[in-house]
Structure 1
Amino acid sequence: MAARHIYRVIFHNQGKVYEIYARKVADSGILGFVQIEELIFGERTQVVVDPAEERLKGEFDGVKRTFIPMHAIIRIDEVEKQGVAKITDAEGNIAQFPMPMYRPDRGGGGDRS
């Protein structure tokens, strides 16, 4: 039986840090984005309901595939088992790349004239 990969993707969005789990993570055909598919959430039949995970389920309800900007990604880990998806406040020193990777107005490269 083929191994089922599980990835933990941590990224920041609007002052919050999102931690989600997915079965597929890849570069996308959209420049500067990471493609995340087959999001995994806890079973809806659980007796204990985590409000943070329920909020994420609602936010991503009906989403087949999501594209996260590369500069928002904090880390991507392949893990052995799924944890709890959550949203937390961004604390500490989380910084974006200092400049965009591609700028169409300047040819995307080193010429700054």
Structure 2
Amino acid sequence: MSTRTRTYRISFHNQGKVYEMYARNVSHGGMPGFVEVEKLLFGEKSVLVVDPTEEKLKAEFENVERFYVPLHAVIRIDEVSKQGSARITAGGDKVLPFPMIYGGNETKS
């Protein structure tokens, strides 16, 4: 039986931008309403071409062992066969927030 190391790509909203990162572990974790991301993966240090966006993410998450993303901020989580570059992109206006459902106790004016 072979044990394959899993790699996940997670895309989420953070401060008006979309973060796309790679990690070994992604789960619902111990905090309700959050996705737990740990064992972050970044590109090889031996690569000659340096991606400034990935370097910015590396610096931002330098001493982070695990972090939690609110469920409503998660765009997508994929299990991938190959790791890519972590990146930050503009959030854009085409993404709508998750609709809030109320219990019907609101007052109507």
TM-score by length of 2: 0.88
1:43 aligns with 2:36: no
Identity %: 52
Name the structure 2 match of 1:60. 61
Q: Secondary structure at 2:19's aligned position in 1?
A: strand
Q: In structure 1, what is the Cα distance between the partners aligned to 2:84 and 2:93?
A: 23
Q: Deviations over 1:27-75 (max 9, x none)?
A: 0211110000100000122211000000000011010001000000000
Name the structure 1 match of 2:25. 24
Segments of 4+ moved more than 2 angstroms: 109-113
- 2:105 pairs with 87, 100, 112, which one? 112
Amino acid across the alignment from 1:24: N
Q: In structure 2, what is the Cα distance between the partners aligned to 1:26 and 1:8?
A: 12
TM-score by length of 1: 0.85
Amino acid across the alignment from 2:52: P
Q: Deviations over 1:2-43 (max 9, x none)?
A: 101000000011110100000000002111100001000001
Q: In structure 1, what is the Cα distance between the partners aligned to 2:71 and 2:21?
A: 15
RMSD over aligned CA atoms reads 1.7
Q: In structure 1, what is the Cα distance between the partners aligned to 2:105 and 2:64?
A: 40
